[in-house]
Amino acid sequence: MDNRVKKALSASINKYAEVSDINVEGFETELFAAFELDANFLDKATAFDAVFDSHPKFEELREIFFDLLMVNFFSSDVQKLEEDYLESDEWANIEEETIDRGTELLNLLLYIKECKDEDLDPELGDFLKEFLLVEDDEFQDEFEIYEELISNQQLAEGGVEEICKAAPTLNISEEMKDLFVPFMAFFLDTEGSAETSKELIQFSRNKSFDSATYILITTINN
Distance CA 53, CA 145 (A): 29
Q: Are residues 133 and 31 in the same domain?
A: no
Dump pLDDT digits (tens) for 59-77: 999 999 999 999 998 887 7
Q: What is the reported pLDDT for 17?
A: 97
Q: What is the reported pLDDT for 78?
A: 72
Helices (H) and strands (E) in the chain, counts: 13, 0
Distance CA 37, CA 190 (A): 31
Distance CA 208, CA 100 (A): 24
Dump pLDDT digits (tens) for 95-117: 888 989 999 999 999 999 999 99
Torsion angle of C-alpha atoms 181, 65, 111, 119, degrees rounded to 10: 110
Mean pLDDT of 141-164: 93
Q: Are residues 124 and 141 in the same domain?
A: yes
Residue 83 has pLDDT above 80, yes or no: no
Q: What is the reported pLDDT for 87?
A: 81
**Domain interval for residue 220:** 103-222
Q: Are residues 152 and 122 in the same domain?
A: yes
